[in-house]
């Protein structure tokens, strides 16, 4: 762990020494990739959660429109 922290400190020091435009050019691809990964992860988790919720709701005895005599 100490090796990783030393590496991270050196990267941070190098990055803070760059001009603002260069910092932006280095940081933005990393931030965008992380944001995209988090968005995909949330999409999968929420989609599966909604699908599971619907499956559980159907299995608990709630009536469907066909069973109530509604639309066929």
- Tens of pLDDT, residue by residue over 6-63, are 999 999 999 999 999 999 999 999 999 999 999 999 999 999 999 999 998 888 655 5
Return the percent helix, strand and coil in the chain, to nearest 5: 75, 0, 25
Question: What is the residue extent of each domain of the chain?
Answer: 24-60
Look at the block and give the residue holding tokens 């931030």: 31
Q: What is the pTM of this model?
A: 0.60
CA-wise closest residue to 15 among 31, 33, 27: 27
Q: How far apart are CA 41 and CA 35, in angstroms?
A: 10
pLDDT at site 59 = 80
Q: Is pLDDT at 70 greater than 70 in this prediction?
A: no
């Amino acid at each position: 762990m100490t090796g990783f922290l030393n590496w991270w400190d050196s990267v941070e020091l190098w990055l803070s020494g760059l001009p603002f435009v260069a910092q932006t050019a280095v940081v933005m691809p990393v931030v965008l990739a992380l944001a995209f990964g988090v968005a995909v992860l949330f999409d999968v988790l929420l989609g599966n959660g909604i699908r599971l919720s619907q499956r559980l709701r159907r299995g608990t005895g709630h009536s469907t429109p066909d069973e109530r005599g509604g639309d066929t």
